[in-house]
Amino acid sequence: MIGLERQLNHFVLDASSSADMTNIATLVELCRVLVETGRHRIFNLVDRLVRLLVTLPVSTAAAERAFSILKITKTRLRNKMEDEYLANNLLVHIESEIVQHYTYDDIITDFKNQKNRRADL
């Protein structure tokens, strides 16, 4: 925290006197300019803070989406569902973009290849 505070003070002085940092309007632009000018090495803690702030909305949205799906899936009728079964169902629902690339035949073939079944004999 102390190192970040010191870097922020130096960064404010540097940014206010620098011509290439006067027209920055967003955090993404700030991150880009820090890398382009090499300041991300000098102000490494400031760069890390900006990157965390830029990625925070994405990670928050993904978590909220997962909880929303959990609320829909785990209703009163399904409350007795085991945790592992629920987790597997939620994973399939949350990662639906990936699941769309697989067919039922792919899944059946993969299941058959896991171990020998009596039906295969």
**pTM of the shown model:** 0.46
Compute the average pLDDT of residues 6-19.
Answer: 83
Residue where a domain terminates, one of 40, 64, 88: 64
Mean residue pLDDT across the chain: 78
Q: Given a cut of 70, is residue 80 above it in pLDDT?
A: no
- Domain hosting 87: range is 74-114
Same domain, 27 and 54: yes
Number of folded domains in the chain?
A: 2
Q: Given a cut of 80, is residue 7 above it in pLDDT?
A: yes
Could you tell me if residue 119 is inside a domain?
Answer: no
- % of residues, the chain, pLDDT over 70: 84
Same domain, 15 and 44: yes
CA distance 30 to 44: 13
Q: How confident is the model at residue 57 (pLDDT cuts 50, 70, 90)?
A: confident
The amino acid sitting at 77 is: L
Comparing 99 with 37, which gets the higher pLDDT?
37
Compute the average pLDDT of residues 47-70.
Answer: 78
Same domain, 80 and 59: no
CB 38 within 8 A of CB 21: no
Same domain, 81 and 51: no
Comparing 19 with 73, which gets the higher pLDDT?
19
Residue 41: what are its φ and ψ, rounded to 5°? -80, -35
CA distance 45 to 62: 26
The amino acid sitting at 88 is: N
- Residue labelled with tokens 């940092």: 21
Same domain, 9 and 57: yes
Q: Given a cut of 70, is residue 77 above it in pLDDT?
A: no
Q: Given a cut of 60, is residue 76 above it in pLDDT?
A: no
Encoded tokens for 55? 């990625």
Name the DSSP letter for residue 31.
H
Residue where a domain terminates, one of 64, 82, 98: 64
User: Residue 47 CB: number of other CB atoms within 10 A?
Assistant: 19
Encoded tokens for 113? 């290849």
H-helix or E-strand spanning residue 4: helix 2-17
Could you tell me if residue 49 is inside a domain?
Answer: yes
Could you tell me if residue 43 is inside a domain?
Answer: yes
